Chain A
Amino acid sequence: MFADIFERRKNGTTGSGNGALIELTGIRKVYDMGTVQVEALRGVDLTVRPGEFASVVGPSGSGKSTLMNIVGCLDTPSGGSYRLKDEEVGGFSLDRLAEVRNRRIGFVFQNFNLLAQLTAFENVELPLLFAGMATRQRRERTERVLADVGLADRMKHKPTELSGGQMQRVAIARALACQPDLLLADEPTGNLDSTSGRDILHVFEELWEAGHTLLVITHDPAIAQRAPRTVTMQDGLIVGDERRAA
């Protein structure tokens, strides 16, 4: 159901160079906890091509979320190189990073992170507002994206009036509103019951089939099994990277 709206090209027609969407080389991240320095990432290399659906698995504290935050430009690495569509992100200004988060990367959080005082419609509309889209276009887009995640009849509801699954669908709609190159999700089903979780997994599958690039952190074996690529992390390093035929 996404194909008609998000005209994504499945195979690397976007970008130039080697065709990789994301290219991480030797990414390190050190948290300075006062007296102790915690090395969350110890040199991560990862390449994601357009149209890929990869799950990231690993025990708690293995650096999955840290990696995701860096890929999502929510945080900056302590060392290494991050190229997004052949552009080195390391040199971007804060406002440029905001633009990347706004237009090129959609982020879905475990705890949804919706703004409680806004309706579902307004939550989805917000990134479009930040992008400076004209009012009429913005409304059309918001309605369409919400309809796509099956929430056409819940637009005027506040997050507190929605179920967990519905909230996560609003969050996905928000992440997709600006038609990003990449959708990141950090434990998207972690706070959901199994039914809602399956629901969300289904949404992800449809997105992938429509040509989206997805990178999903999960503990949920269902998602890990459905993703054609599984990246395994441990102690701040990638210890496994398997691809299966879809």
Chain B
Amino acid sequence: MGTLGVILRLFRSAAKIQRKRMTMTVMAITWGTISIVLLLSFGEGLRRSMTTGWAGLGSGICIIWPGETSKPYAGFPPGREIRLVAEDVDLVVAAIDEIDAATGEMRGRPQLSVGRVSVNKQVIGVHTAYGELRNHQAAPGGRFINELDMRLKRRVIFLGDELATTLFGEAEPVGQSVLVNQTPFLVIGVMAKKKQMGMYGGPDADHAVVPLTTFQAIYGRRFLSNLVYRSTTPEQMVAATRRFHEVLGAKYKFDATDERAMYEWDTVKTQQIGRNIMIGVELFLGIIGGLTLLIGGVGVANIMYAVVRHRTREIAIQMAIGARRAFVMGALVVEATALTFVGGGIGIGVGVGLVELLAFIQSKVDNEAMQFLGQPTFSLPVALITVLLLGALGLAAGFFPARRAVAVHPAQVLRYE
């Protein structure tokens, strides 16, 4: 008989004296664990879905719209329109260290026809950097607009995936012709399907893009609808935007602090807000799960109180023959923790099973809302949080009853029969 054997024998009686109550408690812990695993996994799935959704717009970019000055500057009155031209794209990339790449956008809404199908859709004239900045990747078998297209003002067109389906149905669009206002354009690529959350002027899947030079040559446009740039790192976005205003303010003679001269959408800032909201959502889900688990923990503590009451005499005897408080308390805490982890282990098992099942079902369902929710994901942080919560709960559920158990002098208990 080893030391451990004796200790186990002394303290194993919880199971015996409280069998029914213990089963219920383990079930409560299991249920709490399932709740927290599911909720946290949903949060994790939603967060991942949001992240990829944001990536659809492009990472770490700022989008500029032309505006109107609101402050007088260098002798000019306020109310002057500030409009950007294609050359400004090269200017900001060359002049501002914090800007890594940029593209102009010129938007039109011509008629697109293939055979008997005719639709009016947005067609955007862009620089080559657009593909990278706006996460406009070509699906296999196609390519994005390149420098040669730009230089030769080629009549080539890159289609959004939904637009491609509208025009060509199931047929392969790459290599085919699309009539843009009755001018034939060669399809060079189709956008790879992507999840897109942030957008301006409609979803990318329903657009087509052409070289900016071609767009200008055909429509004779001079001014950009938008200008999009990316800072070298997301942290440098604020500096990049300040420099952007300074450089263009110098060129067009407006006050660099004039917020109305140009409007901007800093997606770094927006995404940070989005991330903070997600942290809030996950925290909320975690707290709900945690509270559910807490109810199970109260059950464990309750059992341990009953065990302590039941064993008052045994504990007093042990203390009378010299057991230190730590010994008695340690054993009770270990017992409560063991109970918690039995329930928790079952809960994690069932929870992960459910998460996998839901993820499987979701991957089979073609529903946009479901797609957006994302697949619930049981990740390492979820596992860690669950186990830590369970451990803390077990310790607390054992500690308080144990503290009561050792609070009496042995004589007070042993005096009475």
Which A residues fall within an 8 A CB radius of B?
A: 65, 69, 72, 74-76, 94-95, 98-99, 101-103, 107, 109, 111, 113-115, 117-118, 121-122, 125-127, 129-131, 135, 174-175, 178
> Could you say which residues of chain A place their CB within 8 Å of the CB of B2?
135
Question: How many angstroms between the C-alpha atoms of A99 and B319 in the bound complex?
Answer: 10
In the assembled complex, the Cα of A76 lies from the Cα of B409 at a distance in Å of 8
Q: Are B321 and A75 in contact (CB under 8 A)?
A: no
Measured CB to CB, the closest approach of chain A to B241, in angstroms, equals 65
**Which of B3, B9, B324, B409 has a CB less than 8 Å from the CB of A74?**
B409
With an 8 A cutoff between CB atoms, is B291 at the interface?
no
Chain B residues 101 to 147 lying within 8 A of chain A, measured CB to CB, are none
A121 to B414, CA, bound (A): 22
Contacts of A94 in B (CB 8 A): 325, 406
Nearest B residue to A112 via CB reads B317
The residue on A at minimum CB distance from B1 is A122
Which 3 A-B pairs rank lowest in CB-CB distance, beginning with the nearest?
A: A102-B322, A75-B411, A74-B411
Q: List B319-376 residues whose CB lies under 8 Å from chain A.
A: 319-327
Question: Which B residues touch A117, using CB under 8 A?
Answer: 9-10, 13
Can you report 29 residue pairs joining A to B where beta carbons are below 8 Å apart? A65-B415, A72-B411, A94-B325, A94-B406, A95-B326, A99-B322, A101-B319, A101-B322, A101-B410, A109-B414, A113-B317, A113-B320, A113-B414, A115-B317, A117-B9, A118-B6, A118-B9, A122-B1, A122-B9, A126-B6, A126-B318, A126-B323, A127-B322, A129-B3, A130-B321, A130-B327, A131-B322, A135-B2, A175-B321
Residues of the B chain whose Cβ atoms lie less than 8 Å from the Cβ of A99: 322, 324
In the complex formed, the residue of A with least CB distance to B7 is A129
Whether B272 is near chain A, meaning CB under 8 Å from some CB there, is no
Contacting residue for B324 out of A95, A111, A118, CB 8 A? A95
CB interface residues, B 378-402, toward A, < 8 Å: none
Find the A residue at minimum CB distance from B413.
Answer: A74
CA distance A88 to B415 in the complex (A): 25
How far is it, in angstroms, between the C-alpha of A94 and the C-alpha of B320 when the chains are bound? 12
Specify the chain A residue showing the minimal Cβ separation from B12: A117
Q: Which B residues lie within 8 Å of A69 (CB)?
A: 409, 411, 415
Q: Chain A's nearest CB lies how many Å from the CB of B82?
A: 79
B321 touches A107 (CB 8 A): yes
Complex partner residue of B314 from A98, A111, A115, CB under 8 angstroms: A115
Docked Cα-Cα span, A72 to B314, in Å, equals 18
Say whether A75 contacts B412, CB under 8 Å: yes
- A155: shortest Cβ distance to chain B, in Å? 11
Query: How close is B409's CB to chain A, nearest CB, in angstroms?
Result: 5
Would you call A101 and B321 a contact (CB within 8 A)?
yes
CB pair B9 A98 closer than 8 Å? no
Q: With CB as the reference atom, state the residue of chain B lying closest to A68.
A: B411
Shortest distance between the CB of A126 and any CB in chain B (Å): 6
Inter-chain contact B325/A98, CB cutoff 8 Å = yes
Q: A113: which B residues are within 8 A, CB to CB? A: 313, 317, 320, 414
Min Cβ gap A158→B in Å is 11
**Is B170 an interface position by the 8 A CB rule?**
no
CB-CB nearest in chain B for A100: B322
Across-interface contacts of B1 in A (CB, < 8 A): 121-122, 125
Q: How far is the CA of A238 from the CA of B2 in the complex (A)?
A: 46
Task: Specify which of A103, A115, A135 is in contact with B3 (CB 8 Å cutoff).
Answer: A135
A174 touches B411 (CB 8 A): no
| Chain A residues within 8 Å of B414, by CB | 74, 109, 113
**How many angstroms between the C-alpha atoms of A173 and B410 in the bound complex?**
20
Tell me the complex Cα distance, A95–B325, Å: 7
Inter-subunit contact A130/B322 (CB<8 Å) = yes
The answer to whether B411 and A127 touch across the interface, beta carbons within 8 angstroms, is: no
Q: What is the CA–CA distance of A109 and B316 in the complex, to the nearest angstrom? A: 13
* Distance to closest chain B CB from A187 (angstroms): 12
B87 CB within 8 Å of chain A? no
Contact partners of A109 in chain B: CB under 8 A? 414
Compute how far the CA of A14 lies from the CA of B325 in the bound complex, rounded to whole angstroms. 29
| A-side contacts of B3, CB under 8 Å | 129, 135
B409 contact from A75, A118, A127, Cβ within 8 A: A75
The interface residues of chain A lying within 8 Å CB-to-CB of B314 are 115
CA of A69 to CA of B415 in the docked complex: distance in angstroms?
9
Asked if A178 and B6 make an inter-chain contact with CB atoms under 8 angstroms apart, the answer reads no
- CB contact between B320 and one of A76, A101, A129, A135 (< 8 Å): that residue: A101
Residues in chain A near residue B6, CB distance under 8 A: 118, 122, 125-126, 129
Residues B317 and A130 in contact, CB atoms below 8 Å apart: no
How many angstroms from the CA of A122 to the CA of B1 in the assembled complex? Answer: 9
A101 contact set on B, CB distance < 8 A = 319-322, 410
Pair A98/B323 contact, Cβ less than 8 Å = yes
Task: Report the Cα distance A24→B375, complex, angstroms.
Answer: 75
Taken together as a complex, chains A and B put the C-alpha atoms of A172 and B16 apart, in Å, by 30
Q: Beyond the given A69-B409, A118-B9, A122-B9, please list 8 additional residue pairs across the A-B interface where CB-CB is below 8 A.
A: A72-B411, A74-B411, A95-B324, A103-B322, A117-B9, A130-B321, A135-B2, A175-B321
Distance in Å: Cβ of A190 to nearest Cβ of chain B: 12
Partner of A130, one of B313, B324, B415: B324
